Amino acid sequence: MQVTLENEKENVVKLNITVPAKDAADAYNQAVKRISQYVNIDGFRKGKAPRQVVENRVGVERIKQEALEGLMPRVISKAIDENKLDVITQPYITSYEYNVGEDLKVTAKVETRPEVTLGDYKGLTVEVADSPVPEDSMEKALEGLRNQHAENKIITDRATVETDIVKIDFDGYVNGEKIKGGEAKNYPLDLAHSNFIPGFAEQLVGKNLNEEFDIEVTFPEDYHDESLKGQKATFKIKINEISEKILPELTDEFVQKVGPFKTIDELKADIQKYLDEARENTNKNNSENEVFKKVIENAKVDIPESMIEREAQSLIAEYKNRLAAQGLNWDMVAKAQGEDELLKSIHEDAKTRIKNSLVIDKIAKVENISLDRTDLDKKFAELSTAYRISQQDLYKQIGKNPEILSSLSQQAMNDKVRDFLLQNNKVELTAPKKEKKAKKVEEK
């Protein structure tokens, strides 16, 4: 077999392959036998019809296609290996000359991995702002724990206040027309933590049990339903129940009920340990990100437009799936954000993802970083926990979808390279930047 290479635009390589006549003829004859196994030919048992009869029955060109499908994957793979081509797409045949008894001439094309030029990626010094534990974190954690174990007390002798929880019937109208999906019965609403339309919950304060009344609100301009953006609406309301949240006192007896603690101090120590670990993890993640960002900035790579376009199409498909899960669609978002700007942003994201991946692969190759079973087991455990499925079931799913294993392997390699970079560069934690406070203007 003879192979000559031609470099075309960007990272496309043309392979001109010549397969000896004997090999081409053998592939043709094997194709005849395979076809004769499943084609019904009168007067012959399957697999026993002579070559000329099979040719007359299905046609020479059909046999050549079968022969190429059986022969070319091995031939092209060998050509790629012998020429040490680092390909990133499936090869595809652009033309061929196939006459039985003569050399088979095939032209195929592949896209190769863009060359990455690494800049400095070890021995760097990167400054990262510290992420201290906020001063009120302990207070918020304790308050959150009390809220989790709060009891609701039914109120019948007063009007609602802004911290109450109510159950209401509501029915919404815009321009006298009922809002689709804008009604509910006995809907529970926490007046202090409402995610309803702005102004909705506030107008329920000061109302009495069983009281019926109307409120008026205006839908936000960025509301997801195009037909309701900026529209004024009227809601008919009825208060069915009023309750107030009763928080338990923070005592040793209380903490003994909520966990393996004997005293308030033991609970606080456990919370502080969690807060410190969270701070450490945040600083580690921020450090990894800043180091990686610097390494990426130092690296140079020319990414072909065809590669960016493929990645962009993949991102668009992912984005559309996420939108569908939220009851939205591409046209709605494109209209709100501007389709040109949206596509530009996605293509920039695609370019970033490709460069990140190429640089990671390059560092892994240069530093001989490879994956072992423990690296993959760690990713399996993370995925198992995230989706609440057993690792055994996860292995079964991966067996049916090999692309999952490929994705997990890439994630594991990303983690390993980023950890390598963190260990081989210096991170200096600096005091967090303080937000500038607006100066108060005093009237004279």
Amino acid, single-letter form, for residue 129 = A
Inside any domain, residue 192: yes
In the chain, % of residues over pLDDT 70 = 96
268 lies in the same domain as 356: yes
Query: Rounded to an integer, what distance in angstroms lies between the CA atom of residue 427 and that of residue 336?
Result: 41
In this structure, the answer to whether residues 231 and 313 fall within a common structural domain is no
- Indicate whether 202 and 287 sit together in one domain: no
Residue 212 has pLDDT above 80, yes or no: yes
CATH number at 424 reads 1.10.3120.10
Q: Are residues 268 and 242 in the same domain?
A: no
| Count of structural domains, the chain | 3
Higher per-residue pLDDT: 267 or 392: 267
Query: Tokens at residue 33, please?
Result: 């036998």
239 lies in the same domain as 185:
yes
**What pLDDT is attached to residue 117?**
93
The residue among 193, 10, 183 whose CA lies nearest residue 88 is: 10
* pLDDT, average across residues 258-273: 94
Least-confidence region, from 51-60, 98-107, 128-137: 51-60
Task: Please tell me the predicted confidence (pLDDT) of residue 42.
Answer: 67
410-to-137, 351, 357, 415, 436 alpha-carbon distances in Å: 36, 17, 9, 9, 42
Confirm whether 440 is domain-assigned. Answer: no
Alpha-carbon distances, residue 14 vs 23, 69, 92, 327, 350 (angstroms): 22, 19, 10, 46, 26
Can you give the residue range of the structural domain that contains 339? 258-430
- In the listed set 113, 133, 162, which residue is the last one of a domain according to the structure? 113
- The verdict on 334 and 418 lying in the same domain is yes
Strand segments (E) across 347-432? 426-430
The first and second tokens of residue 180, run together, are: 């689709």
Q: Are residues 386 and 266 in the same domain?
A: yes
Q: What is the mean pLDDT of the chain?
A: 88
Same domain, 275 and 407: yes
3-state secondary structure of 112: strand
* Whether the Cβ atoms of residue 186 and residue 143 lie closer than 8 Å to each other: no
Q: Where are the alpha helices (DSSP H) in 172-263?
A: 252-258
**Whether the predicted pLDDT of 156 surpasses 90:** yes
pLDDT tens-digit series, residues 388-435: 888 777 777 777 777 777 788 888 999 999 999 999 999 999 988 765
Does 436 reside within a domain? no
**Among 246, 278, 309, which residue terminates a domain?**
246
Token couple for 352: 């970033």
Which helix (H) or strand (E) segment holds residue 16: the answer is strand 12-19
What CATH number corresponds to the domain at position 59?
3.30.70.1050
Q: What is the pLDDT of residue 410?
A: 86
Q: Residue 344 and residue 312: Cα distance in Å, rounded?
A: 10
For 410-436, the DSSP string reads HHHHHHHHHHHHHHTSEEEEEPPPPPP
Please tell me the distance from the alpha carbon of residue 90 to that of residue 11, in angstroms, as a whole number: 14
Identify whether 444 is part of a domain: no
Same-domain status, 308 and 404: yes
Residue 271 resides in a domain: yes
Residue 175 counted as domain residue:
yes
CATH classification at residue 224 = 3.10.50.40
Mean pLDDT of 86-111: 89
Chosen domain end from 219, 246, 273: 246
Q: Judging by beta carbons within 10 Å of its beta carbon (0-12, 13-18, 19+), is residue 25 exposed, middle or buried?
A: middle
With a pLDDT cut of 90, the percent of the chain lying above it is: 53
CB 248 within 8 A of CB 149: yes
Give backbone dihedrals phi and psi of 113, rounded to 5 degrees, phi first.
Answer: -65, 130
For residues 235 and 230, give the distance between their C-alpha atoms in angstroms, rounded to a whole number. Answer: 15
